[in-house]
Structure 1
Amino acid sequence: MAFSKSSKIKGRVITHHNESFNFWEELISEGHISTPFEVTHIDAHSDLGLGDSAWHYILTQLLSYPIEQRIKILDRSKVNLANYLTFTMSMGWINKLNFVFHEYWNFNDFFSIYLKDFDDYSGFFEFRSYDSQYSASYLTENIRNINPLKKDSLIPYKIYKPNNFKLVEEYDYLVFCQSPQYTPKTADYMLDIIREYITEI
């Protein structure tokens, strides 16, 4: 697949990464896409939430609900630009995730607590629900030895570096993020370039 000005792809230019979550929710609610769907995430970070405390809320509260009910009870204040992909998977919206990282990325922000067998190289996300009595510190130290209350379906992932990734499939939508916290103002010219290749919705 190659992007073309004459055959534009539907999409949206956003400011912050977590607006992707809102965009996907909008597409789902309006019947434009069905779940689950495949996502290709091109970024310098995994956006799985390493470094914030939302993981404890996800594992001990959110995942205890049936998957179709989670969006209704979701504490949206916990969804942010660093963890929105985890919340998207927790909703059951994604069935495959492709990561395209920079050349020197080396699992430095991959959050193994969400992975099958807690293994960075497993190739699968596995979301497990735990009793809410467990504190964050207790789970951090003992999670490998605790039986989960239940597990979601496995979500396969693949990791690519720029030199071994090619667009070989037709994509339905494109989301491009400005990300002012991480990119200089001088890079904003790219927003107008991207807009030449998408039909903004």
Structure 2
Amino acid sequence: MGLCLAIADCGLEPLPRLGNGGHHGAQPAYLVLSPTGSVYPVQRVLDIDVDFFVEPTVYDPDSDDDRPDPAEHTVWSAAEALGFLRERCGLVGRGPGFLTETHDQLFGSWRNAIAAGILKPPFHVTHVDGHADLGLGYQGHEYLMTNLLFQARAARAYPSPSPGEQGLTQGTWLLYAIACRWLNDLTYVHLDNENGGAEAFSFILNTLKPGGDAIQLRAMTPEALSHWALSGYADDCEFAHIEPEVPYEVCLWSKWQAEQPYDFVCLTRSPQYAPLTADTLYELIAETFIDPIT
């Protein structure tokens, strides 16, 4: 696992901070020390889903069109939400970022920004969300593990499952970003809900590390995946190859404190998972913290 360092820790002068600390195309003030001893810059992305501010969390929306009932799901006040983003996430003003309606759309926004040279992988992601978006409750991992991971890295950015086969969704999109090797490391900041942040398939975690504190995707044939599932996801299963591990941290929101500024801020409305009463908060956060990249 790489060691994350501030520029000051390396004896280098930090860049001037603009807005949330982002530099939109400039070198970020965040460095990583690789296992080989080399130091390289890593951009930092704060990824916010408005459904993080909805209680209780919506897990099974009624349909694609209906919004959750505001009588059953309350939304944090503007003061509470902005206070969290300022005090816990360190946001101090407007900075570059992305606005999306559903979270799977962010995959395409990142892909376009990478192609334009704005977003430079591998980058850090702090995922502030009511859901981990790592596949639990969805089947998109099957296509990813038995097909996508066998493709060249550049082709993985354009997943194309067969008809009837589930691929990239709102609940799996972060797995697909990891499959593209876009992420350097991932932190999931969650609410104190019934899952306690443990909302990821256990078999995507590197269980050989204490606490399973890394995500490591495995490529295998459909037959091998079926056998692996029947074995209870034993570590001695035969894999075609294993992807590089991505350090993964899970943190309760009340214990979270960002240690470095962010270069980009992403915000998703998630209408299936947030009542209509959350739209005002979405617009306020967007207006307060984000200059959209188009």
Report if TM-score (shorter chain) is over 0.5: yes
Q: Quick check: 114-123 or 167-176, which moved more?
A: 114-123
Structure 1 residue aligned with 2:160: 75
Q: Looking at both structures, which has the greater relative contact order when contacts are Cα pairs under 8 Å and sequence separation is at least 6?
A: 1
RMSD over aligned Cα, in angstroms?
2.1
Equivalent pair of 1:110/1:120 in contact (CA under 8 Å): no
Identify the structure with the greater helix proportion.
Answer: 1
Structure 2 residue aligned with 1:177: 268
Matched, 1:199 2:291: yes
* CA-to-aligned-CA distance 1:156-200 (integer Å, 9 cap, x gap): 011111111112212111111111111110111112211222111
Cα distance in 1 for residues equivalent to 2:153 and 2:120: 15
Alignment TM-score, normalising by the size of structure 1: 0.89
Structure 2 residue aligned with 1:59: 145
Equivalent pair of 1:9/1:173 in contact (CA under 8 Å): yes
Other structure's SS at 1:174 match? strand
Equivalent pair of 1:112/1:118 in contact (CA under 8 Å): no
Structure 2 residue aligned with 1:3: 91
* CA-to-aligned-CA distance 1:25-45 (integer Å, 9 cap, x gap): 111011102111110000111
Deviation at 1:69, TM superposition (A): 3.5
Cα distance in 2 for residues equivalent to 1:190 and 1:18: 20
Which amino acid letter does the alignment assign opposite residue 166 of structure 1?
Answer: Q
Equivalent pair of 2:136/2:199 in contact (CA under 8 Å): yes
Matched, 1:133 2:223: yes
Other structure's SS at 2:207 match? helix
Other structure's SS at 1:46 match? coil
Other structure's SS at 1:96 match? strand
Q: Give the alignment partner of residue 26 of structure 1, picking from 101, 104, 112.
A: 112
Equivalent pair of 1:10/1:199 in contact (CA under 8 Å): yes
* CA-to-aligned-CA distance 1:115-155 (integer Å, 9 cap, x gap): 11388921001111112434x54332134241211111110
Other structure's SS at 2:260 match? coil
Structure 1: which 5+ runs fail to align? none
Q: Quick check: 190-199 or 122-131, which moved more?
A: 190-199
Structure 1 residue aligned with 2:23: none
Which amino acid letter does the alignment assign opposite residue 116 of structure 1?
Answer: N
* CA-to-aligned-CA distance 1:3-43 (integer Å, 9 cap, x gap): 234xx111122110111111111110111021111100001
Which amino acid letter does the alignment assign opposite residue 254 of structure 2?
Answer: N
Structure 2 residue aligned with 1:41: 127
Matched, 1:98 2:214: no
Q: Highest CA radius of gyration, 1 or 2?
A: 2
Structure 2: which 5+ runs fail to align? 1-19, 21-89
Equivalent pair of 1:107/1:120 in contact (CA under 8 Å): no
Which amino acid letter does the alignment assign opposite residue 30 of structure 1?
Answer: A
